[in-house]
Each structure stands twice: as C-alpha cells, then as structure tokens.
Amino acid sequence: MFGSVSFDAISSALDALSLRQRTTADNIANLQTPGYLAKKVVFEDALAAAVSGGSGAVSATIATSLEPTRLDGNNVNLDTETLANIDTGLRYELATRAMEGKFSSIRTALGNA
C-alpha cells in the first residue's frame, strides 16, 4: 500500500504543494524588493506523466516567472499570488483528505485482520 502509485502520487503532490505555499509566501514577502523576480513551482505535468508511466514519485521544480516587470524590475503581482495561495490551500486540503482515506483503509484492514 505504501509503495503504490496513488500513495506516491499523493505524497509527491503534498510535498510540491507545500513547496508552492512557501514559494508564494516568499514572493509576497518580496513584493517591494527591487529586481526580485517571482518564483513558480511546477509539478503537475511531471506528476501526470509519472502516474501514466506507473510511478507517482516526482519532485517539484522552481522556475522564475517570465511575467513583465515593473519599473523597479520586480514582477510580483499580489493578486496573482493571493489567488495562487488560495488555490494551493484548497489543493493541499484535497490531497490531505485523499491521504487520510488511504490511512483509513489501512486502519480498517488492520482492524479486520
């Protein structure tokens, strides 16, 4: 059960979403830092490809945003970061519930053994 594709995929998603939350917080913290370029965490396509290939284990990557910059060279958009934070929080909650379901199945199986 712990080495299953679904368990690995959920675990990878939780790790990547956690990284995305930290990265979003860093972006917001640097909203007024001249020359700071926002970072983006990417993992969804790699996760989908890994699951299709029979493995759910992937690592997220951090890319620099290519969005246009303001006059001070900073390209952090507070509206975009706020929406990303909300979206990430909802996805994290969903993945946590999926993992909870996995553990519930294990508890049930152990209780019936």
| Residue 90 identity | L
C-alpha span between 64 and 33 (Å, rounded): 15
Q: What is the mean pLDDT of the chain?
A: 91
42: left (phi over 0), alpha (psi -120 to 50) or beta: beta
Which residues partner with 39 through β-bridges?
A: 64
20: nearest Cα among 3, 45, 43: 43
How is residue 32 written in tokens?
């007024």
Question: Per residue in 76-89, pLDDT tens?
Answer: 999 999 999 999 99
pLDDT tens sequence across 18-72: 999 999 999 999 999 999 999 999 999 999 999 999 988 999 999 999 999 999 9
The pLDDT of residue 65 is 94
pTM attached to this predicted model: 0.84
Instruction: Grade residue 111 by pLDDT with cuts at 50, 70 and 90.
Output: confident
